[in-house]
């Protein structure tokens, strides 16, 4: 009889310990799941914010491109009637601009060992740059600068949000 009572007591303590351990593990798993849910919600919120920032920059860049095209068309129409349009830019200036353009293009190209760098391959054709051509370059170049500035502003906004996240309301 004493051995039965001892076995029952041991069994009760043993299964009580197992139940307490299982309950503790269950609480830990619930806590982990809640934390993972918060992380996923925060990531989804950040992705949404980043996508909105990128969308805003893309929309602004589309407007810039459209305005630039319109301006270039207007400039072409004005320059078409100009009698001095075909005057060449001095060779030293034109050569310097061409060299600078090729350096910028080569710097923007990704190095790829399987293909030649097309930014500077081949001979440069012998042609002169006219003042009208130079004028027509100005608007697209300014548009490219504005586009880059829009993209950089978006990156700055995202970095600021990342460093100083807004307070979440309960």
150 and 92 in one domain? yes
Give the C-alpha separation, 70 to 63, whole Å: 11
144 and 70 in one domain? yes
Q: What is the pLDDT of residue 46?
A: 86
Range of the domain at 79: 63-106+127-164
Alpha-carbon dihedral angle through residues 22, 28, 33, 39, given to the nearest 10 degrees = -170
82 and 145 in one domain? yes
* Structural domain total, the chain: 2
pTM over 0.95: no
Is the residue at 116 inside a domain?
no
98 and 137 in one domain? yes
133 and 92 in one domain? yes
Q: Which residues of the chain have pLDDT under 70?
A: 110-127, 166-170
142 and 76 in one domain? yes
Render pLDDT for 79-124 as a digit per residue (tens, 0 to 9). Answer: 988 888 888 989 888 888 888 888 888 887 766 555 544 544 444 4
């Amino acid at each position: 009889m004493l051995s039965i009572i001892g076995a029952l007591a041991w069994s009760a303590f043993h299964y009580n310990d197992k139940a307490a351990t299982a309950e503790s593990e269950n609480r830990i798993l619930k806590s982990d799941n809640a934390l993972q849910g918060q992380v996923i919600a925060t990531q989804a919120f950040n992705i949404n914010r980043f996508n909105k920032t990128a969308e805003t920059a893309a929309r602004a860049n589309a407007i810039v491109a459209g305005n630039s095209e319109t301006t270039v068309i207007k400039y072409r129409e004005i320059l078409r009637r100009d009698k001095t349009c075909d005057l060449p830019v001095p060779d030293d200036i034109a050569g310097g601009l061409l060299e600078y353009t090729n350096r910028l293009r080569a710097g923007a190209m990704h190095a790829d060992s399987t293909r030649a760098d097309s930014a500077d391959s081949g001979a440069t054709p012998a042609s002169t740059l006219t003042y009208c051509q130079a004028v027509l370059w100005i608007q697209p170049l300014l548009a490219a600068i504005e586009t880059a500035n829009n993209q950089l502003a978006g990156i700055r906004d995202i970095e600021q949000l990342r460093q100083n996240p807004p307070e979440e309301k309960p």
